[in-house]
Amino acid sequence: RKMATAARQSLKIGLIPADGIGHEVIPAARAAIEAVGSDIPKPEFVDLLAGWEVFTRSGVALPEETVDALKECDCALFGSVSSPSRKVTGYSSPIVALRKKLDLYANIRPVVSVAPTAGEKPDVDLIVVRENTECLYVKQEELTNGEKGKEARATRLITEYASRRIGKMAFELALNRPRKHVTIIHKSNVLSVTDGLFRETVRGVPSLPEVNGRFDDVTIAEQLVDSAVYRLFREPQIYDVMVAPNLYGDIISDAAAALVGSLGLVPSINAGDNFVMGEPVHGSAPDIAGKGIANPIASIRSAALMLRYLKYPQAADRIDKAVDEVIREGKVLTPDLGGNSKTNEVLAEVLKRI
Ligand code: GGG
């Protein structure tokens, strides 16, 4: 990848806290990046706007300046967005738009339980690889009046192109993991055309001529999405890399987060061939926004994941190790993990260990 090989003098990082607790957790991720010092090029942060809050002030959810500024950045961190559940004229989800505009086609979500003692095998150690650009997220919906009342329709788009590149990403990730195992998630017993195409295309990735047999050691399984959720709760150890169309991937990763203690622990990156954007899996949590008790760990881990993708593994390891120690010690934790500490207190513990 172009971005992975460029030697950088500085690392320009766009920061988009967006809404709610995004304003509390993105500064924590920034502090963690600053703490790794010379393990990365000198970071230069650019504060950027997007989200529901900026929409209510200006009528624009994703200002053009934000997109233009991101094109000048090496990477970015996005917090969380409070998109309304009803249609609001002129509003469209900025995170969905950003993923498309920057062609961040893979949402990579590792879900790992922290072992009680260092070195012990975690119960859950999987990565959800979520296709990030299509499925129902093409957002082509229409409301019409039928004979029996209103009828709402949505287009679900699955292409061979997008399925192939997300499949390649999943196999690539599996190759670098001890178990080298990919599970394809679909529902092609019902949606045989759309999910059928996804399943068949991902299955075909190892036989592509350009792959040159590189994935021959990766084993493949597949699972219907409903049964995948059941087995995720019953025997999460069977999963290594799970690759899924957009909506299933979103749901599965939240479900998997329940197995490791809190959604507040789970990071992600939105990755493309030329850009990467870290983003906690959790949303804007309006119920706790402004109270200073949001768990900063998902954002801090997202920063580490972003640095790892940019080929700064030492910096990423330092952040991840510090976070794991804080969780393992269990003394300074936010309320979502049963503690009574504040965001800044958890951050301070992490920074001490970095
Ligand atoms: N960081 C994840 C996040 O912000 N989740 C909320 C979300 O994605 N809402 C739906 C949307 O705005 O598209």
Whether residue 32 contacts residue 302, with contact meaning beta carbons closer than 8 Å, is answered with no
Q: Indicate the residue among 232, 259, 286 that finishes a domain.
A: 259
* CATH code: domain of residue 183: 3.40.718.10
CA of residue 228 to ligand 1 center, whole Å = 23
Q: Indicate the residue among 259, 291, 326 that finishes a domain.
A: 259
- In a shared domain, residues 182 and 205: yes
pLDDT at 6: 54
Lowest-confidence segment of 115-124, 185-194, 231-240 by average pLDDT: 115-124
- pLDDT (tens digit, 9 = 90+) per residue, 310-350? 999 999 999 999 999 999 999 999 999 999 999 999 999 99
pLDDT at 7: 78
pLDDT at 2: 41
- In a shared domain, residues 98 and 131: no
Q: Indicate the residue among 259, 275, 306 that finishes a domain.
A: 259
**Catalytic position from the list 39, 103, 254, 317:** 254
pLDDT at 8: 86
pLDDT at 291: 98
Q: Taking residues 137-165, report their average pLDDT.
A: 97
Q: Give the range of the structural domain holding residue 206, as residue numbers without chain letter.
A: 125-259
ipTM: 0.96
- In a shared domain, residues 145 and 238: yes
CA of residue 17 to ligand 1 center, whole Å = 12
Place of tokens 């017993």: 189
Closest Cα to atom 1, ligand 1: which residue? 80
- In a shared domain, residues 198 and 284: no
What CA dihedral angle connects 293, 296, 299 and 302, to 10 degrees?
Answer: -150
pLDDT at 5: 44
Dihedral-angle region of residue 182 (phi above 0 means left; psi in -120 to 50 means alpha; beta otherwise):
beta
Lowest-confidence segment of 5-19, 117-131, 195-209, 319-333 by average pLDDT: 117-131
User: HSE of 227 in the Cβ direction (CA atoms, 13 Å)?
Assistant: 12
pLDDT at 122: 73
- Tell whether ligand 1 has an atom less than 6 A from the beta carbon of residue 266: no
Q: Judge whether 117 lies within some domain.
A: no
Q: How many domains does the chain have?
A: 2
- In a shared domain, residues 297 and 276: yes
- In a shared domain, residues 202 and 309: no
List of residues 6+ apart from 221 with CB closer than 8 A: 181, 182, 183, 184
CA of residue 342 to ligand 1 center, whole Å = 23
Place 1 in a pLDDT band, splitting at 50, 70 and 90.
very low
- Tell whether ligand 1 has an atom less than 6 A from the beta carbon of residue 250: no
* Cα angle 203, 273, 156; round to 5: 55
Closest Cα to atom 5, ligand 1: which residue? 283
- In a shared domain, residues 180 and 239: yes
The yes-or-no answer on residue 105 being catalytic is no
Model confidence at 115: pLDDT above 90:
no
Share of the chain above pLDDT 70, in %: 97
Query: What is the pTM for the complete model shown?
Result: 0.94
Model confidence at 71: pLDDT above 90:
yes
Q: Taking residues 262-277, report their average pLDDT.
A: 96
- In a shared domain, residues 273 and 245: no
Share of the chain above pLDDT 90, in %: 94
